[in-house]
A and B are shown apart, each in its own frame.
Chain A
């Protein structure tokens, strides 16, 4: 079983749609979690951290369920500029080693 598994995608949605990404992790010792965004042929960039209580940043909401080892990202009112690959990431331990999922490609269409 992979350490971090994501919806395979790709997702194609119209502008204004709500889209949800799901992710599970296998290492119960993972301490912190993130969503990274990667544009085509660019480097990954941190989108947001994920906290147990859930957190929101504008149109983006992240949730963490430690009991189920499940992470989600919700994008509301999607924009053309949201088109990218979304990477689910878990921090495995004290060395701050990040484990990335395969990523899910999102295309927002006009």
Chain B
């Protein structure tokens, strides 16, 4: 079974530029998550989708971050404009519906904002 795919794996941009990340979850997983992991910290949830609807985006900085999950499969996370403090690894995870199912993480996109 293929895992969660993410691209790009690495991205370097200058502050005030825009960037987008892509995630393809495990086939059939209805729930998709985007996390931000700053060096030395645990992952922090940015947004959670159930199919193509948003379940929780309470920690998403909506003035600069946006995310969508069209057709309930792939998802994109965008930052516009980027700030230095956005330098982090952006992890996508997916989970099957129902209780007790594990979240599976993708390899992440390492963003450096200079």
User: Which stretch of A11-19, A60-68, A74-82, A99-107 is in the interface?
Assistant: A99-107
| Bound CA–CA A101/B37 (angstroms) | 11
Shortest A47–chain B CB gap in Å is: 11
Q: Which residue of A lies closest to B105 (CB)?
A: A43
Instruction: Tell me the number of A-to-B contacts counted with CB atoms below 8 Å.
Output: 38
State the Cβ distance, A93 to closest chain B Cβ, in Å: 10
Q: Scoring A residues 36 to 68 as 1 if CB is less than 8 Å from chain B, else 0, what string do you get?
A: 000000111110010000000000000000000
A32 to B102, CA, bound (A): 12
**B44 contacts A by Cβ under 8 Å:** yes
> How far, in Å, is B85 (CB) from chain A's closest CB?
17
A95 cross-chain contacts in B, Cβ below 8 A? 48, 55-56
Task: Give the residue among B42, B100, B106 with the most A Cβ atoms within 10 A.
Answer: B42
* Chain A min CB distance to B54 (Å): 11
Contact, CB under 8 Å: A100 / B102: no
CB distance from A51 to the nearest CB of B (A): 11
The contact size tier of chain B is 10 to 19
> Contact string, A84-101, partner B, CB cutoff 8 A, digits 1/0?
000100000001111111
Residue interface bits B100-112, CB-to-A below 8 A is 1, else 0: 1011011110000
A101–B42 CA distance with the chains assembled, in angstroms: 5
Closest residue of B by beta carbon distance from A88: B42
Q: With A96-B31, A98-B103 known to touch, is A43 a contact of B91 (CB < 8 Å)?
A: yes
Given A95-B56, A96-B31, A98-B103, answer yes or no on A87-B42 (Cβ-Cβ < 8 Å): yes
**B48 engages A102 (CB within 8 Å):** no
Q: A96-B95, A98-B103 are in contact. Are A43 and B108 (CB under 8 A)?
A: yes
